[in-house]
Structure formats: structure tokens, C-alpha cells
Amino acid sequence: MTVTTEPSAPARQVRPAEERYAAELAFLAAQDTGPRPPGWALTPRAVVTFVCGSAGVELVLPERREGLPAKLEIGPKFVGERALVERCVVTLAGERGLLLTGEPGTAKSMLSELLAAAVCGTSALTVQGTAGTTEDAFRYGWNYALLLAQGPTPQALVDSPVLSAMRTGRVVRVEEITRCLPEVQDALVSLLSDRRVTVPELTASEDAVVSAAPGFTVIATANLRDRGVSEMSAALKRRFNFETVDPIADADAEATLIRRQAVAAVRRAGAEFSVDDAVLDALVTVFRDLRSGRSTEGWDVERPGTVMSTAEAVQVAASLGLSAAYLPGGDVLDLLPGHLLGVVRKDDPADHARLLGYWDGPVRRRAETGSAMWRRLWDLRGSLK
């Protein structure tokens, strides 16, 4: 007897949000039957719940659906103010552009991905802004083989992610919009105003004008560190609602997020995460002290020029976890100063001295109080030179 099997799907390092959380999205679509804006896969209330979680409460389906559980608790995916997420959702419901700003590493891209996945079922319609991004990335291009063979026809037209979103009434994401040149950014002005794209080469065809379907809108992100690189025009700014994504305010929430994401990163690498909570607490404390310029005890700290972001802390925690898994034999705490130095020295060489100053200040004072962990870190000061 011959047994045939379906080929298994290839392994991927990262799956998009709409795939990772497909079960939650399907459950929320069936659970909340309230009014939805045109083209939306979920109600605005369900979108907020998907991003922020159900606060430990199990949601109940109004009626049994095949393939769905009767009850499900929705886990939080974005750590931040619920009010911020609600404002973002209201902006998108009004089909207005949303611009997420903030320091690097504050999960702006993750939030835009989650919102797009929940609103329209896909986060794949994305333009990555760079100095080399051209206007075609916001409008359209051509399949030049077909263009030479047939001339300018609808079949030869290559939709940009923006044009695809307009045709289907979905959300398009523009990452790092201020990295694009101003003349490229301004291609969005008419798109967000007129909600249509004209293809002059197809003037004799009914396909010459593409009008946005209900539900189309844009989520853009911009780092505050990039301000002045390619400043947005006043006309473009007026077409976006600006929302600032701040660093995580609650230390416990940040520590929980760092552990969760570091555990996931190490497991993707084929290992189990075995770093003690005490080491992670020290990591979070150092990052928060240097980020804010003040220690948890209230001592002044000279802030480095680089951004001590949560995303960087996740990378350090994951590196510690991988070292413990694949290069065992030593105390993982001994590796922390070296990883911190790698983060701090990214932008300004003078930040090296600021990290040493932190060691001579809060680390030394904590060591003097009798804490074994901070005493060990103080003993490791020499590894920072």
C-alpha cells in the first residue's frame, strides 16, 4: 500500500501576526458581533482586546462554532496604555492616516503589525522606508517584459503595497517614513486626500483611475531619532493623526515582556531558556536606570546617548539565554557587563565612560549594601575597560 502525505510547510524564523494569532482572531470575529467599520475583519472593540488582551477574563462565544473553543482568554501582545491603542483604533475606523512616533525600540512596528492584522487580516502590505525608496513604492511600477510586448496595459501594471491596499480596502504599513526623501513622502499627500491613483499611461482604459475601497488607510512609523533626516511636509503631517509610543512605564511589565520574548527567541534557536530571574531583574534595572537618568533609589545617573530600549534588552536577555544553553560552564551573570557595553557603545564612544560611571555609582553603592549579585557585578568592572 502506498501512503501519500502532504508536504510539510517549511520552517520559518518569524510568522506574521495574522498567522501566529489566527486562533484568537477567528475567535474574536465570532465572539464580538457588534458593528464594524466597512472592510474590517473585527469590531473596533475586538481589535483593542486583541492587542491589549482580555485582562485575564475568558471571553465566551454567543453560540457554539465548529473549530472554535467555547471560551478563550486573549493574551496581551502590546505592553502600553490601553488608551493609546483605543485612539489608534478610532483613527483607523475614521479612515485617517495613523503615524506612530517614538524612540527606537518602543514596539511601534509591532503595534502597527498587530493593528493591521486585526483590522484587515493581513500585515503583509508594507513599504520599508529608506533613502533609496522611490515613488513607485507608493504608487505603481511596470512589468517591463509585458510593457515591451503589449505596451501600457492593466496586465503590465505592478501594484505597490499601497495600491493593493487601496484596491482591497486594507491597511498598508509604511515603516520609517522619515527615512524616505521628502518628494517621495509627498506621494502620499494626494493618496490620503483624493483616495485615488491615476495611471496616465492607461488614459484610454477604464482602469486608468484606481479608487480606494472602503477600509483603506495607512499606518506609518517614525523614530524620534530620525527627526530632521527627511522632515515631513506640513501638508503630509495634516493627513495623519500622531500618536507617541513611550517606553514601558511599569518595571514589572517590562521585565515580564523581556522574559517572554527572550524565551521565544531562544526556543526558536532550538534551546530552552534557563537564565535566572535575578539576572533578568538586574538587566532590566540597568536599562531603566540608564534610560531615565535616575536609579530606582533616586540617584542621578548620566544617560548615554544611545537608546536603552526594551528591544535591546530583549536581545541581551536572549544572548544570555543562548550562552547558557550552548556555551555552558560559567556564570551567565559574568557575561552581562560585556553585552551592556556592546549596547552602549553603538552611537557615541563617550558612552563607554558613562557606563563606567554607572558602575562607579549605583552598582558600587548597591554592592556596599551587601547584595551578592551587585557585588559580583562590581567585581566585574574590569571587563568594561
Cβ neighbour number for residue 83 with a 10 Å cutoff = 9
Closest CA to 80 of 283, 287, 250, 288: 250
**Cβ atoms of residues 49 and 205 within 8 Å:** no
Closest CA to 219 of 34, 87, 130: 87
Provide the pLDDT confidence category of residue 245 given band limits of 50, 70 and 90.
very high
Give the residue, 3 or 157, on which the prediction is more confident.
157
**Cβ atoms of residues 176 and 222 within 8 Å:** yes
Q: Is the pTM of this model over 0.75?
A: yes
Q: Going along 207-307, which residue ranges are E strands?
A: 209-211, 217-223, 240-244
> For residue 172, what is its C-alpha cell?
498598508
> For residue 356, what is its C-alpha cell?
563606567
Give the residue, 147 or 228, on which the prediction is more confident.
147
Q: What is the pLDDT of residue 228?
A: 57
CA distance 80 to 246: 8
Q: Is the pLDDT of residue 227 over 80?
A: no
> For residue 54, what is its C-alpha cell?
482580555
Closest CA to 188 of 229, 156, 218, 228: 218
Q: In what order do the strands lie in the sheet with 97-102?
A: 126-128, 171-175, 217-223, 97-102, 240-244
CA distance 322 to 45: 39
Q: Is the pLDDT of residue 262 over 90?
A: yes
* Percentage, residues of the chain above pLDDT 90: 81
Q: What is the pLDDT of residue 214?
A: 96
CA distance 23 to 27: 6
Q: What is the pLDDT of residue 4?
A: 42
DSSP 93-157: HTT-EEEEEESTTSSHHHHHHHHHHHHHS----EEE--TT--GGGTSEEE-HHHHHHH-S-GGGE
Query: Per residue in 340-371, pLDDT tens?
Result: 999 998 888 899 999 999 999 999 999 999 88
Q: What is the pLDDT of residue 64?
A: 87
Range name among 9-18, 92-101, 351-360, 363-372 with the lowest pLDDT average: 9-18
**Cβ atoms of residues 178 and 231 within 8 Å:** yes
Q: Going along the chain, which residue ranges are E strands?
A: 58-60, 71-73, 97-102, 126-128, 140-142, 157-159, 171-175, 196-198, 209-211, 217-223, 240-244
Read off the pLDDT of each residue in 220-243 and give the average, rounded to a whole number: 86
CA distance 116 to 124: 9
Q: Is the pLDDT of residue 79 over 50?
A: yes
Compute the radius of gyration of the chain from its Cα atoms: 24
Q: What is the pLDDT of residue 346?
A: 85
* Percentage, residues of the chain above pLDDT 70: 96
Reduced to 3 states (helix: H, G, I; strand: E, B; else coil), residue 322 is helix
Range name among 108-117, 132-141, 198-207 with the lowest pLDDT average: 198-207
Closest CA to 378 of 364, 368, 361, 366: 364
CA distance 132 to 179: 9
